[in-house]
């Protein structure tokens, strides 16, 4: 349980397709180069042709391709960039940022939550379902934390405004208790709200839910909630 590490299905699909990757690439390259394309050598020729267009004639794929990479990285990092070490640092920094930050999503989808209701929105990326439940802890509502980190940057959106004098109050809950992360959509025009100030830590094994409380006269509408996990 938990979307924070549950990409097994996607990884399985990628692995299943891996054996077809070279034949698919060859078919594409055949269409570019004509029949008889040899992936072992002609692919380098295509790369050389592309780099020739960038660098001019006389481009050597064995050495100048590194220069092109260095030139690009120089623009990012500044002069003195070392392709043998700094390029790895750039890649590491990008991957670190990707791993540190993840967006969690809860959504009611086509379901609407009526007035005067305390509901718990389905964790869409975890369950693949949309909707809500009046029971907090279900397989569809909970996201389980699989690595320690921080949860923050709550954002909520609705299809229809609550109405004059009405509101939708959203609270991030951890282990069945409310946290300081909360926001409110209210009135006849507002359809979005956020809390970009408050944050809480989360440990492995903690579980997260999103509670929404609709006021007595609030319009029944669809709800979507986003939360950032960093860790």
Query: What confidence tens digit (pLDDT) does each residue in 162-217 have?
Result: 999 999 999 999 999 999 999 999 999 999 999 999 999 999 999 999 999 999 99
Interhelix angle for 21-33 vs 42-55, to 10°?
60
Give CA–CA dist 10/7, Å, rounded: 5
Q: Per residue in 113-136, pLDDT tens? A: 999 999 999 998 666 778 999 999
pTM: 0.60
Which domains are seen in the chain, by residue range? 11-99 (no CATH), 102-230 (2.60.120.40)
**Is 141 exposed, middle or buried (CB count within 10 Å of its CB: 0-12, 13-18, 19+)?**
buried
CA 167 remoteness from chain centre: 29
């Amino acid at each position: 349980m938990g979307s924070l590490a549950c990409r097994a299905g996607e990884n399985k699909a990628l692995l299943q397709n891996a054996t077809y990757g070279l034949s698919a690439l060859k078919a594409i390259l055949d269409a570019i180069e004509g029949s008889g394309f040899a992936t072992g050598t002609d692919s380098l020729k295509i790369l050389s042709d592309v780099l020739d267009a960038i660098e001019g004639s006389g481009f050597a794929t064995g050495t100048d391709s590194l220069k092109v990479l260095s030139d690009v990285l120089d623009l990012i990092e500044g002069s003195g960039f070392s392709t043998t070490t700094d390029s790895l640092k750039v890649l590491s920094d990008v991957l670190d940022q990707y791993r540190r930050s993840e967006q969690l999503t809860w959504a009611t989808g086509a379901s609407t939550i009526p007035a005067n209701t305390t509901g718990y929105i389905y964790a869409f990326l975890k369950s693949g379902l949309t909707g809500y439940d009046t029971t907090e802890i279900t397989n569809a509502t909970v996201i389980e934390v699989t690595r320690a980190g921080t949860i923050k940057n709550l954002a909520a959106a609705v299809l229809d405004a609550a109405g004059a004098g009405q509101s939708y109050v959203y609270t991030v809950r951890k282990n069945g208790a409310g946290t300081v992360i909360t926001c409110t959509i209210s009135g006849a025009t507002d359809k979005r709200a956020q809390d970009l100030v408050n944050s809480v830590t989360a440990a492995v094994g903690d579980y997260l839910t999103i509670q929404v409380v609709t006021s007595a006269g609030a319009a029944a509408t669809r709800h979507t909630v986003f939360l950032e996990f960093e860790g």
